[in-house]
Amino acid sequence: MEEEYGRKWDRCLADSAVKIGTGLGVGVVLSVLFFKRRTWPVAFSAGMGLGMAYSNCQQDFRSPYLLHGRMVKDQ
Amino acid sequence: MLRVCLKGANAAARQCVCGKVAAHPLQHCRRYTSAGDSGVTAGKIVAASLLTVGGGLGGTIIYAKWDPKFRSNVEKTVPYSDKLFGMTLGPPPPAPVIPVPKKLAKVEPLQISSVSEATKESKQPKKEKKVKEAVPQEPAAAEEAPAPPPAPPSQTIEGECTECAHEPALKERPAEEVTALLAAKDKAEEDTLASLSSNLDETLGSSAKVTMAAIGAQEAALTAIAVHTQKLKEAMDAEGAPDKKSAQWRALEDALDGRSRAVDEAGAALLRARDELEKLREVINVAKGSNIDAARPQVLAAEENLHNMIVDLDKVVGKVQAAQSEAKIVSQYSDLVNEAKAQFQKELDSITPEIKASWKGLAGKLTTDDLNSLIAHAHRRIDQLNRELAEQRVREQIHIESALEQQKLEHQKALETAVVTALEHNREEMRLEQEKKVAEVREVMEAEMRTQLRRQAAAHTDHLRDVLKVQEQELRAEADETLKNKMNEQETHYRRLTQEQLDTFTLDMNAAYARLKGVEEAIDSHVIAEEEARKAHQLWLSVEALNYSLRTAGVDAPTEPLEAAAVVVRESCADNEFAQALASALPAESLSRGVYSEASLRARFQDVRRLARRVALIDETRNSLYQYFLSYVQAALLMEPQQEAPPQRLSPADLDTFKLLSYACYSMERGDLELAAKLLNQLTGEPRRVAQDWLNEARLTLETRQAISLLSAYANAVGLGTTQAP
């Protein structure tokens, strides 16, 4: 059980690293290609990547508490 | 006010910071003035509020002083107001005391009655003394002349006697005292009676004597008067010789003297008799006043005697008076006759002066002239007398009428007096008769009362007889019953003894039989016991094997699966349900996988603890990453003791994660896995999830250990039971 926790954190960090890096990359590309080398796309997409990573991490940690409901159709 | 000033100062400082240095003092002043203005208004407000509060308090205190109910209400509702009121107004007025007159009223009559009793008590010896005093006074008084002296003591005796009559009714006195008093009273009565009777007899005797003397004197007077009258008549009518006449006249004079003397004597005797009768009457009154029953007939007789004597006296007096009146008439007649004779003599002398001597001697000497003159004188005299007679006849009528009138008047008077005296006599007679009748009735009543009392006494004796009969019956019945009870007791006792004997015999027989049976059974059970012992030994061995297999746990590895040992245990206790149940109570995991040892759990616990600390804030509602961050920060900053002794009872404050973890750590270090598991079971949220695995393992271990310990205890017990002491 305790290992699972550590594992989750590892996944989270790896995931956030990947996403932020990817975001940064995409941001750089976009800023160079379309936005005249402004900084804001970089920050924007890095932020997007961070946000996605954050969300994923949160989802991962929350997963035990999530309730999956099913809609029962009246027959 | 200070705060306002400070605010102003701050504002000024800020302004200074912003850089407007030049305007600082002005603004400062302005601030002050504005602060001052606001201060003045604030002061007004403060003053007004103080005034209101002070007025309210003062008004409350003054009204509380006037109305104690209001004061008590306020004291009840507002705390510490009673202290304030006590300081300002003094202690509260006491509740009105309800008077208790009932007790007083009850006490008073008792007191009064006791006082009256006491006075009565004190009066009694006085009265007794008075009675005793009166009694010796009586005989002394009896010797004196009657009437006044006996009257007061007898009256007091009478009064005391009536009071004494009341006294015994009010208060019970000892019998001897009562009889003594009664005897004294009787004696006193007897004494008075004796004295009274003696008095009565004396006075009766004296009055009788005197009355008889008076009557005799009156009779003597009567005879004297009659004699005198007779003599007078004779003297007037008779024409005897002169010496005879003078003798007659002398006799008449003697008779007159005798009559006057007799009348005087009679009068004196009458007076004396009247006095004596008066005295007798007094004595009779006294005797009546003494109110003693025994004297009554004597009194009545005395009264009768008195009455008779009075009647006789009156009669005799009447007779004497009649005789006297007759004598008066006769004397008047004699006077008239004498007067006529004198007149005639004078006339004769005037006509014939020479003839002085008596008639008869002159018969031859008289001449015809003398005779003629005499006859003429006689004729003239006859005419005159005839005329006088006619006149007299005429006047006679008138005189007769007047005389009749007078006679009528006198007759009336006499009649009246006679009527009065007759009435008096009648009244006296009636009274005497009434008294006699009263005495008779009293006698009759006394006799009747005596008969009634006798009847009552008879009834009482009958009643006593009945009561005694009833009592006899009751006592007989009681005695019979006691006899019966005793007999029954004896019987039961005898029966009990026989029964006991039988019982003891039966008991002995039973005991012997039971012993025999016991011996047989003992032998049988020995065999069984041997068998049991073998089986128990077997079981014990298998349980020991199971126990040993528990110890095969590694540091982090679980024990080997306990399946084999459990099977052996089950085989060895095939017929024992309890052991079977226990053997099958081993959890499946332990059988298949084995359980962890306590040491490994302990080591693992530290990791669990660390992790639980870190995620202490996370639960179903708070589980965002931000919360995770906060939880981490809390775990880093919070310092709780590593180990803390858990209390006997967990309070809600102890359900905090960190506290629970410290308690659990403490228990783990002391080897109490169970308590640690219980404590960790109280975790909530994410820490619980984190500790779940560890908890499960701990549970498994605990279960297995419990089952095995029970089995070994059971095996030991069975083994102990089957071993025989040497």
Helix and strand totals (H; E) in chain A? 2, 0
| C-alpha of B674 from chain center | 80
Q: Which tens digit of pLDDT belongs to each residue from A9-59?
A: 999 999 999 999 999 999 999 999 988 888 889 999 999 999 999 999 999
One-letter amino acid for residue B54 of the chain: G
One-letter amino acid for residue B149 of the chain: P
User: What's the DSSP call for residue A72?
Assistant: P
Residue B468's Cβ-side half-sphere holds a number of Cα atoms within 13 Å equal to 6
Tell me what the pLDDT averaged over chain B comes to: 79
Mutation for A interface: B596, B607, B623, B627, most A CBs within 10 A: B623
Q: Which tens digit of pLDDT belongs to each residue from B80-134?
A: 888 888 888 877 777 666 655 555 444 444 444 444 444 444 445 444 444 444 4
Which residue in chain B has the smallest CA separation from A61?
A: B623
C-alpha span between B601 and B599 (Å, rounded): 5
**What are all long-range contacts of B189-195, with beta carbons under 8 Å and residues at least 24 apart?**
B189/B292, B189/B294, B191/B135, B191/B138, B191/B139, B192/B138, B192/B150, B192/B154, B192/B157, B192/B290, B192/B292, B193/B292, B193/B294, B193/B295, B194/B142, B195/B138, B195/B139, B195/B141, B195/B142, B195/B150
Is residue B311 a contact partner of residue B425, using CB atoms and an 8 Å limit? yes
| Partner-chain contact B689 A61, CB within 8 Å | no
pLDDT at B275: 87
Phi and psi based region of residue B683 (left: phi greater than 0; alpha: psi -120 to 50; beta: remaining): beta
**Percentage of the residues of chain B whose pLDDT score is greater than 70:** 78
Residue B711 banded pLDDT, cuts 50, 70, 90:
confident
For B611, the closest of A5, A61, A65 (CB atoms) is A5
pLDDT at B380: 83
Min Cα–Cα distance to chain A from B704, Å: 22
Place of tokens 């006010």: B1
Residues of A in contact with B623 (CB under 8 A): 58, 61-62, 65
Is residue B192 a contact partner of residue B292, using CB atoms and an 8 Å limit? yes
pLDDT at B121: 46
Residues of B in contact with A57 (CB under 8 A): 625
Which residue in chain B has the smallest CA separation from A6?
A: B611
Among B155-169, B272-286, B509-523, B544-558, which is the least confidently predicted range?
B155-169
Is residue B539 a contact partner of residue B718, using CB atoms and an 8 Å limit? yes
Residue B154 banded pLDDT, cuts 50, 70, 90:
very low
Residues of B in contact with A1 (CB under 8 A): 608, 689-694
Min Cα–Cα distance to chain B from A49, Å: 16
Instruction: Tell whether A58 is within 8 A of chain B (Cβ).
Output: yes
Instruction: Tell whether A9 is within 8 A of chain B (Cβ).
Output: no
For B607, the closest of A2, A54, A61 (CB atoms) is A2
| Partner-chain contact B625 A58, CB within 8 Å | yes
| Partner-chain contact A61 B625, CB within 8 Å | yes
Q: Which tens digit of pLDDT belongs to each residue from B648-663?
A: 888 887 788 999 999 9
Among B98-102, B375-379, B462-466, B475-479, which is the least confidently predicted range?
B98-102
C-alpha span between B341 and B329 (Å, rounded): 18
Which residue in chain B has the smallest CA separation from A66?
A: B620
Residues A39-49 as b or e (16 or more Cβ within 10 Å = b): eebbebbbebb
Higher confidence at residue B703 or residue B131? B703
Q: Which tens digit of pLDDT belongs to each residue from B583-608?
A: 788 888 878 888 888 888 898 999 99
Residue B386 banded pLDDT, cuts 50, 70, 90:
confident
pLDDT at B14: 60
Is residue B284 a contact partner of residue B303, using CB atoms and an 8 Å limit? yes
**pLDDT > 90? residue A3:** no
| Partner-chain contact B692 A5, CB within 8 Å | no
pLDDT at B243: 67
| C-alpha of B435 from chain center | 49
Residue B152 banded pLDDT, cuts 50, 70, 90:
very low
C-alpha span between B215 and B210 (Å, rounded): 8
C-alpha span between B378 and A7 (Å, rounded): 218
Q: Which tens digit of pLDDT belongs to each residue from B216-251?
A: 888 888 888 888 888 877 776 665 566 676 777 788
Min Cα–Cα distance to chain B from A21, Å: 20
pLDDT at B37: 58
C-alpha span between B256 and B78 (Å, rounded): 132
Nearest to B241 by CA among B358, B362, B348, B366: B358
pLDDT at B434: 94
Q: Which tens digit of pLDDT belongs to each residue from B275-308?
A: 888 888 888 788 777 766 666 677 778 788 888 8
| Partner-chain contact B625 A57, CB within 8 Å | yes
Is residue B701 a contact partner of residue B595, using CB atoms and an 8 Å limit? yes
How many Cβ contacts (< 8 angstroms) between chains A and B?
28
| Partner-chain contact B625 A5, CB within 8 Å | no
Residues of B with CB under 8 A from a CB of A: 607-608, 611, 615, 620, 623-625, 628, 689-694
pLDDT at B141: 43
Min Cα–Cα distance to chain A from B675, Å: 21
Give the mean model confidence (pLDDT) for residues B474-482. Answer: 97
Give the mean model confidence (pLDDT) for residues B541-549. Answer: 84
Give the mean model confidence (pLDDT) for residues B51-62. Answer: 93
Distances (CA, A) of B607 to A10, B602, B662: 18, 9, 13
Nearest to B34 by CA among B68, B4, B63, B58: B4
C-alpha span between B306 and B308 (Å, rounded): 5
Residues with Cβ within 8 Å of B75's Cβ and at least 6 positions away in sequence, in order, are B81, B82, B85, B92
Instruction: Tell whether A4 is within 8 A of chain B (Cβ).
Output: no
